[in-house]
Structure formats: C-alpha cells, structure tokens
Chain A
C-alpha cells in the first residue's frame, strides 16, 4: 500500500492557476475513477474538494477542477486566492478494497 506520489510544494500568485499532480500505479488507479482530493488548512480537518476525478461537492467553488490521464490525476485551482493556501491530498480506492493517500502538497499563495 504505497502512498500516491505528489509534489511536496507548489506556489502561485493571486489570480494565477496551479496544478497539483498525483501519480499512482495500476493497482491504485486501475480502471477506477475513484480519485478524490482534500484540502487541509493548517490546524484543521481535511475537506473534500473533488470526488470521482472530476466531481465537485456542493459548495466547492468551480475554480477547483480535477482530471485524470492514465495513472496520473491532477487538481487545478484557477484564479488563486489567499484562502486557497493549504495542504492538498489526493486519495484513491484500490484494487484490494483499501484506500491510499498521496503524501500531500503544500500550496503557497505568493
């Protein structure tokens, strides 16, 4: 159950777009589209931002979008805002009925 691979950090200026990648194996992602993304500001619990690769829960701004190609999923945040500064984690349901998280990416808004 190896963790999914994310870049440790990304940064961008207000108004810009940033993309966070999440790479797994075929046993992590397989033919499933069960990738989710979570936002965790410092000192708080994680919050679901994207599920099933591309779907946004109610209340999540449409500035947040997800995609997947092969064994790499991506989260794109457009029109960056100061409040977006947080740690972001990807997660996937696996072929052995477990879940796995990425190592996390710290987003800094410059």
Chain B
C-alpha cells in the first residue's frame, strides 16, 4: 500500500536551517510528483512547494520562495525540503503528499513537527 513517512522535524532557532525527508513506498516513485504542505498549530493547510515527477519543474509559495528548496532522490525513494533562514512563523506540522489525478494530492504522510523558537 502507498506509504509516505516524513522525518527531520524538531526545534530550531530562528535563522537556522533544517532538512525534512519523506520516504515513499508502495508505488513507482519515479512516476509521481510530490508536494509539501504545512499546518501551523490550530490553523488551516498551507501549500508550500511541488516538484514534478521528472524534477523538470519546481514551484513554491511566496512565503517560502528563496528560503526553501524541494528536491528528490530516486535511488532512495525520498523527497526533501531544505528549509533555510527559518522564521518563527514557519512553525508547523509539515506534510508530504503525492501528486495524484487531476492535480490533487492523493496520499499524505503523517506529518513532522517543526518548531522555530529561540
């Protein structure tokens, strides 16, 4: 069955960096794009970034553009989110999701919590 497992979250000081990982299993990794979506405590979902199945395209939300980078490593069935210059407002649960039919996000991981605090 399709599984997405995020890791790499934790507590980090403002201005520092963190890299999240999302390991995929149960399907052919190389044929799917992936998203990162975040959810601040008690708040709604916010789309963060997407990477095409062939890495040909990457797009970002304005709130993270220039600070976050999405990438993938086919040999490890893994998607990454490199987060630099972190801000307090980046505090959230970060979800990895597979790009599904019709530009949907059809499978989601359980999320990893990132807390940016001094």
Interface string of B78-114 (1 = CB under 8 A from A): 0000000000000000010100111111111111000
> Interface residues, chain A, CB within 8 Å of chain B?
1, 3, 32-34, 36, 38, 40, 45-48, 51-52, 55, 57, 87, 89, 91, 93, 97-104
Residue among B47, B57, B101 making CB contact with A99, cutoff 8 Å:
B47
B5 to chain A, nearest CB (A): 11
Q: Can you pick out 25 interface pairs between chain A and chain B where the beta carbons lie within 8 Å of each other? A: A33-B102, A34-B102, A38-B45, A38-B105, A45-B109, A46-B95, A46-B105, A46-B108, A47-B108, A48-B104, A48-B105, A51-B101, A51-B104, A52-B102, A55-B101, A57-B100, A87-B44, A89-B45, A91-B45, A91-B104, A91-B105, A98-B59, A99-B103, A104-B44, A104-B45
Give B82 Cβ to nearest chain A Cβ, in Å: 19
**How many pairs of residues, A versus B, come closer than 8 Å at their CB atoms?**
76
B24 close to A (CB within 8 Å)? no
Count B-side interface residues using an 8 Å CB cutoff. 26
Please, how many angstroms separate the alpha-carbon atoms of A71 and B60 in the complex?
A: 23
User: Is A45 in contact with B108, judged by CB distance below 8 angstroms?
Assistant: yes
Q: Which residues of A contact B37 (CB under 8 A)?
A: 46, 101
Shortest CB-to-CB span from A69 to chain B, Å, is 18
B70 touches A (CB below 8 Å): no
> In the assembled complex, how far is the CB of residue B32 from the closest CB belonging to chain A, in whole angstroms?
14
Within 8 A of A (CB), among B39-68: 44-47, 50, 57, 59-62
A101 touches B45 (CB 8 A): yes
Q: Nearest B residue to A45 by beta-carbon distance?
A: B108
State A55–B108 Cα separation when bound (angstroms). 18
